[in-house]
Amino acid sequence: MLQEDYAIPDELIPARLHSLFEKSAKRWYYGMRQTNGKNTWSWWKNDAWRYKIENAFENSFFDPDKDKPLTLFLKQAERLNEIYPEISQKMVHMKILRKCGGELEHSLRRRCIEPCSTEEYINALEDTVTRTKIGRT
């Protein structure tokens, strides 16, 4: 906002943050600054971006009535790879499977024995959702 609206360079934005926040947000900012020291705007921006992506991943659960398996699986995998660039493919699959929940997660784990590719997981998810009522409320 500051950079776009007022053409303020990145170096000056952190110096203006204290004037943007009020009450609890200002206390949070001062606590963060005291803990982490003086940082550049890219540090603050990266931290906020990471928090936003983590929340998007955590709040997204597979709903067979609303979500397409391909879209959800790839979007969740992309989020995980952005947050944790060094994460293994196996861990990506495990974290996404946990977001499917209950019977659907169990069914997918039984169908896809490691090592299993992303394509195989997506195919198994699509197949399970279209052929059964597993995961539906």
Residue 3 in domain: no
Asked whether residue 78 falls in the same domain as residue 112, the answer is yes
pLDDT at position 6: 66
Looking at the structure, tell me whether residues 46 and 68 fall in a common domain.
Answer: no
Tell me what the pLDDT averaged over the chain comes to: 82
In which domain, by residue range, is 126 found?
Answer: 63-137
User: For the chain, what is the radius of gyration of the CA atoms?
Assistant: 20
Are 55 and 82 contained in the same domain? no
Distance CA 101, CA 135 (A): 8
Q: For 81-132, how does the pLDDT look when each residue is reduced to its tens digit (9 = 90+)?
A: 988 889 999 999 999 988 887 888 888 888 888 788 889 989 988 888 888 7
Residue 93 lies in a domain: yes
> Is 0.85 topped by the overall pTM?
no
Q: How many domains does the chain have?
A: 2
Residues 121, 76: one domain?
yes
pLDDT at 75: 92
Residues 133, 106 within the same domain: yes
Q: How far apart are CA 132 and CA 126, in angstroms?
A: 10
Q: Same structural domain for residues 79 and 135?
A: yes
Are 46 and 75 contained in the same domain?
A: no
- pLDDT tens digit string along 33-87? 788 777 776 777 777 778 888 899 999 888 888 888 889 899 999 999 988 889 9
